[in-house]
Amino acid sequence: MSNYAEFHRRSIEDREGFWGEQARLIDWHQPYDQVCDYSNPPFAKWFAGGLTNLCHNAVDRHLKDRADQNALIFVSTETDTEKTYSFRELHAEVQRMAAILKSLGVAKGDRVLIYMPMIAEACFAMLACVRIGAIHSVVFGGFASHSLASRIDDATPKVVISADAGMRGGKVVPYKHLLDDAIGLAAHQPAAVLMVDRGLSAWPRTEGRDVDYATLRTRELDTVVPCEWVESTHPSYILYTSGTTGKPKGVQRDTAGYTVALAASMKHIYMGKPGETYFSTSDIGWVVGHSYIIYGPLINGMATIMYEGLPTRPDAGIWWSLVEKYKVSVMFSAPTAVRVLKKQDPAFLTKYDLSTLKALFLAGEPLDEPTAKWIAEALGRPIIDNYWQTETGWPIMAICNGVEPAPTKFGSPGQAVYGYDVKLIDETTAEEITEPNRKGVIAVDGPLPPGCLQTIWGDDERFVKTYWSSIHGKTMYSTFDWGIRDEQGYYFILGRTDDVINVAGHRLGTREIEESISSHPNVAEVAVVGVADPLKGQVAVAFAVLKDPSQVATEADARKHEAEIMKVVDEQLGAVARPARVRFVSVLPKTRSGKVLRRAIQAVCEGRETGDLTTMEDPAALTQIKDLITG
């Protein structure tokens, strides 16, 4: 048995011993009584009886050995700002923000909603909340008023922290009017709104409610705010999952389990070392931003880069120039971002010294083989896929090189991560699939490891019903993803169980069709959706972005290219998987975090309402699809 196989086995069979060892990676104010209290499944209480603090572990404990080392590196290519904060300076700023929150009446257990762009003050706000035992809920900056209002009503924050505006592609995105409208729509009214004024957009003040951050910061410059020691199970934050309809679904995270899980993942998965620099290109509005921009790197004593801007501005070399400048050792991005870079001049990828970079990790959506191969060859650095969810807070599947180096396989996010008792379940019989290369639903036997969601905020019943009741006759956590596992234990994700389309009785995963189309040499990226069809129930329709769009200048060119792509699918998957149409677009509709809006594309194709599209990067992208369909 290999080192890693034994490591994983022990994490499942000897949870107490294994996680007791990982718990030594963090500081405790009071030791815990029990590693895992699973007396009330599926609710797990990790490190029950202990007292700790997330901000202490991310900031204060590093003052002894690395007070003057870089902690936070803020870079905005939108405002041409670059500022670094040492651990000492970060500690001071977080205390100032904590003092402001306390002066506004925020105490342990109160919620604070953070609606901010990618600026340093957003990091201070998150750390200040957990410092005083408040529970933060970060909502992606620029989110629509209606969606924001539903989150305000669900989390009932005492204070909202926001800014006058964010920026995207050189354009100012004002926030204050969206926030004011949201508070107007919400039944719950926050006691105060703390505003960071960036000087980008004028903002109207509501007397008696809105307060200016800069003014209050001056007042609290030297205030000392000690860490509030909280129970291991005390909630650290609420994060609403994307794509929720109706009542929002708030993932509730604990304190100690999350701190331990992140500390262990930095060592075993991401191979980061104290004193190095970590660069995640995500946003604090998403789970990657929480775990691997703010908390994970800082807990590990690393500097973290917080970046506001696009991967192509001022040019497609911006990320790599930061890798060189700050000697980045670990980088984390999304496959979509790589596909954006695939369309740029490849010279940017070799222009900078990337010798400090150990690996580029990719997650957030399935990584197709052509994209993985292209970036691996272009950078000459290891490309490591990993798979997880907002709910889990850290990877379910990865290559744990920090335990035992292992090869990556293109198209696979790796093996089950320690702590996760992953099973493949047959959809019809609910039996476990043990033989290789057979498709099943990816599920996890309880308890979920430390760091995963405790429950859905304010709704234990919904937590059980949503995640633990879909596999007939078993209390197992469903990921709602299809997968297969090969002989070596590597998993391959085949898309959502609810992204399966049924074509004339044949069940097809849209992901498999996308992978096939992506292998055509002229395809940069593609989205496949199932569209209602009177004859077959559903048909697959593909929307492709070409590397060289000039090749489909005429209708005849487009038809020729479409036939070529269909032939590729025929050869790889068979005629049953051939899309009904392949249409060519200049850009796919995506959220600002880079997720393709497949549901919105499907709605347009079926002539339905698309729903809330506030987080969409380029509204013209859907219009283009609409015109193609109706034209």
Tell me: the pLDDT tens digits for 112-156?
999 999 999 999 999 999 999 999 999 988 777 888 999 999 999
Tell me: the pLDDT tens digits for 211-223?
999 999 999 999 9
pLDDT number for residue 244: 36
Residue ranges of domains in the chain, CATH in brackets: 3-309+386-481 (3.40.50.12780), 504-630 (3.30.300.30)
pLDDT number for residue 504: 65
Tokens matching residue 262: 């992140």
Tell me: the pLDDT tens digits for 511-524?
878 988 999 999 99
- pLDDT at 360 exceeding the cut of 90: yes
* 552/182 Cα distance (integer angstroms): 44
- pLDDT at 445 exceeding the cut of 80: yes
pLDDT number for residue 300: 98
Q: What is the DSSP letter of 437?
A: T
* 364/287 Cα distance (integer angstroms): 10
pLDDT number for residue 288: 95
pLDDT number for residue 507: 63
DSSP β-ladder status, 440-445 and 421-425: antiparallel
Helix segments in 454-612, DSSP class H = 460-467, 510-518, 555-573, 598-605
Q: What is the DSSP letter of 271?
A: -
Closest of 203, 223, 220, 295 to residue 258, by C-alpha: 295
Tokens matching residue 96: 């100032």
HSE at residue 449, side-chain half, CA atoms within 13 A, is 33
Tell me: the pLDDT tens digits for 366-383?
787 888 889 999 999 999
Q: What is the mean pLDDT of the chain?
A: 93
Closest of 135, 142, 108 to residue 125, by C-alpha: 135
Please state the rounded mean pLDDT for residues 494-501.
73
* 315/395 Cα distance (integer angstroms): 31
Nearest-10 crossing angle of helices 87-103, 120-131 = 70
Please state the rounded mean pLDDT for residues 284-313.
96
pLDDT number for residue 342: 86
- pLDDT at 505 exceeding the cut of 70: no
Can you count the helices (H) and strands (E) in the chain?
A: 20, 32
- pLDDT at 528 exceeding the cut of 80: yes
Return the percentage of the chain with pLDDT > 70, whole number: 98
Give the pTM: 0.86
Please state the rounded mean pLDDT for residues 278-298.
96
Q: Map 128-191 to HEC letters.
A: HHHHCCCEEEECCCCCCHHHHHHHHHHHCCCEEEEECEEEECCEEEECHHHHHHHHHHCCCCCC
Helix segments in 329-448, DSSP class H = 335-342, 369-379
Tell me: the pLDDT tens digits for 71-104?
999 999 999 999 999 999 999 999 999 999 999 9
